[in-house]
Amino acid sequence: MASKNLLAAVIAVAGAIAAPAIAADLSVTVKGEDGAPLPDAVVLVHPAGGAGMGGPIHYAWPAVMTQQNISFNPYVLIVPVGSTVAFPNKDKVRHHVYSFSSAKKFELKLYGQQEERTVTFDKAGIVPLGCNIHDSMIGYIFVADTPFAAKTNAAGIAELHGLPGNAGTLTVWHPDMKAKAPINQPLAAGAGEAAFTLELKPVSMRHKKAGASMTM
């Protein structure tokens, strides 16, 4: 009897390992400590053991960082490690885009309207962007090493789809948060929801999006 039970247990474990992964969805809410939703937060999942992480990474959005209305658009762009990002200039003025980050140092010397430059990001990390001509231009490229990545919307919610459903690590990062490095927390197997409350920099040090006053 004992050996039969053991055999059944072994089969059950093997079945659990061999069973095709059930794609899971995860909704992550990110707020500041004041309770206000935080748009533009980067949310990543690294499933334990690298489950579902093999092969090239593709996101649903393009690897494009546009300069328009004297600002970077999008404000925060997530790209997979190894991506070549296009930097089209849609303004009539010239820009001079650079980053001093350890993840990627580069400089795109003055270039004008309808000119486009590309940069390849071969190291995971956070790449703050600036423009030598326009101090108010601030943007970020988050170079991620997982296919499971999303950005929070205006309601502070990021939706991740097709996760393997395993336990893992959930990571969040926002330009206005006080901590310099991304924050990690454990993700339980099969979790469908998670939430972060971030400690933020003083209001005076937070980035005011250029053109924000023009949008009602």
CA within 13 Å, CB half, 52: 22
Q: Between residues 134 and 201, which has the closer beta carbon with respect to Cu ion?
A: 134
Query: At its nearest, how many Å lie between Cu ion and the CB of residue 121?
Result: 20
Asked if 46 is part of the footprint of Cu ion (rule: CB under 5 A), the reply reads no
Query: At its nearest, how many Å lie between Cu ion and the CB of residue 89?
Result: 8
Query: At its nearest, how many Å lie between Cu ion and the CB of residue 107?
Result: 13
Asked if 133 is part of the footprint of Cu ion (rule: CB under 5 A), the reply reads yes
Q: Is residue 67 a contact partner of residue 77, using CB atoms and an 8 Å limit?
A: no
Asked if 131 is part of the footprint of Cu ion (rule: CB under 5 A), the reply reads yes
Binding pattern for the stretch 78-97 against Cu ion, x by CB under 5 A and - elsewhere? -----------------x--
Q: Between residues 34 and 135, which has the closer beta carbon with respect to Cu ion?
A: 135
Query: At its nearest, how many Å lie between Cu ion and the CB of residue 137?
Result: 5
Q: Between residues 41 and 108, which has the closer beta carbon with respect to Cu ion?
A: 108
Residue 206's CB is within 10 A of a number of other CB atoms, namely: 14
Q: Of 31-39, 101-109, 136-144, 163-171, which part binds Cu ion (CB under 5 A)? A: 136-144
Q: Between residues 117 and 134, which has the closer beta carbon with respect to Cu ion?
A: 134
Asked if 134 is part of the footprint of Cu ion (rule: CB under 5 A), the reply reads yes
Q: Between residues 45 and 131, which has the closer beta carbon with respect to Cu ion?
A: 131
Residue 6 phi/psi, 5° resolution? -60, -45
Number of residues that bind Cu ion (CB under 5 A): 5
Q: Between residues 59 and 98, which has the closer beta carbon with respect to Cu ion?
A: 98
Residues near Cu ion (CB under 5 A) are 95, 131, 133-134, 137
